[in-house]
Amino acid sequence: MVRFDWDDEKAISNLEKHGVSFGEATEVFYDPYALEDYDTRHSTSESRFVIIGLSSHRLLYVIYAERTADIIRMISARKANKSEQRFYERTRTLNL
């Protein structure tokens, strides 16, 4: 079973800046159509990944790191932009 972890101060900062709680952001990992990729731009000190998927409220863009095989550390979460939304919808349509 996967567990989620985050820095409490970063979680508050993310909520204030992006309007997305890390609790909501964990929901994208259960979206069967979520899109994941390695985040080459932000993987300098650790391997980071991006996932675009639906929470129960909206489409989110989440950056995370895998601490161990069963612990995901949340780095950042925001609402997906228009380009990311189109990519998700196009990919989802192809997979239906």
Q: Using the structure block, give the residue that is written with the tokens 């069967």.
A: 32
Residues forming beta bridges with residue 61, ordered by sequence position: 52, 78
| Gap between the Cα atoms of 2 and 15, Å rounded | 23
pLDDT in tens, 7-20: 999 999 999 999 99
pTM of the model: 0.91
**The pairing of beta strand 3-5 with beta strand 71-79:** parallel
User: Mean pLDDT in the chain?
Assistant: 93
* CATH number of the structural domain 3-94: 3.10.450.530
Domain extents in the chain = 3-94
| Across 36-63, average pLDDT | 90
DSSP designation for 29 = G
For the stretch 58-91, pLDDT in tens is 999 999 999 988 999 999 999 999 999 999 999 9
Residue 94, CA atoms < 13 Å, CB-side half-sphere: 8
Q: How far is CA 30 from the centre of its chain?
A: 11
